[in-house]
């Protein structure tokens, strides 16, 4: 008999300071930021200890039939990673955009070439 034990979903909501940074820096709507989830872990930036975040969209993963419950799941699907960020010991937040570039339509591209 096979017993399936579901993995605990380790994803959590984005910290408010990361949401605020991303809202201002990337001009993202608060409603969108509320939908995103992240995995939090300890790391270093510039030799200093920080709280790091890997940020993804559960809705985007579901659209592609991908289940992201752990940081390892996200690492197995790097195309699902949207942003990476951290909060330093002073509470300063930073995030980098890791979204894939938007592909231009062929017609739009051709009109730019002329």
Q: For residue range 60-105, list pLDDT tens digits in order.
A: 999 999 999 999 999 999 999 999 999 999 999 999 999 988 776 5
Q: Which domain holds residue 22?
A: 12-113
**Does residue 4 sit within a domain?**
no
**Does residue 17 sit within a domain?**
yes
Q: Are the C-beta atoms of 61 and 67 separated by less than 8 Å?
A: yes
- Burial class (CB within 10 angstroms; exposed 0-12, middle 13-18, buried 19+) of 72: exposed
Closest CA to 54 of 24, 34, 76, 74: 74
> pTM, whole model, 2 decimals?
0.81
How high is the pLDDT of residue 102?
77
**Does residue 86 sit within a domain?**
yes
**Does residue 6 sit within a domain?**
no
**Does residue 54 sit within a domain?**
yes
How high is the pLDDT of residue 109?
52
**Is residue 3 over pLDDT 90?**
no
How high is the pLDDT of residue 73?
95
**Does residue 52 sit within a domain?**
yes
**Does residue 48 sit within a domain?**
yes
Number of separate domains in the chain: 1
């Amino acid at each position: 008999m096979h017993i399936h034990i579901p993995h605990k979903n380790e994803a959590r909501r984005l910290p408010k300071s990361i949401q605020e940074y991303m809202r201002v820096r990337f001009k993202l709507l608060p409603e969108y930021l509320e939908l995103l989830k992240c995995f939090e872990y300890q790391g270093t930036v510039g030799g200093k200890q920080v709280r790091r975040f890997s940020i993804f969209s559960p809705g985007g993963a579901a659209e592609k039939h991908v289940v992201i419950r752990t940081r390892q799941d996200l690492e197995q699907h790097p195309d699902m990673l949207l942003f990476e960020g951290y909060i330093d010991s002073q509470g300063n937040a930073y995030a980098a955009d890791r979204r894939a570039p938007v592909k231009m339509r062929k017609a739009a591209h051709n009109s730019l070439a002329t």
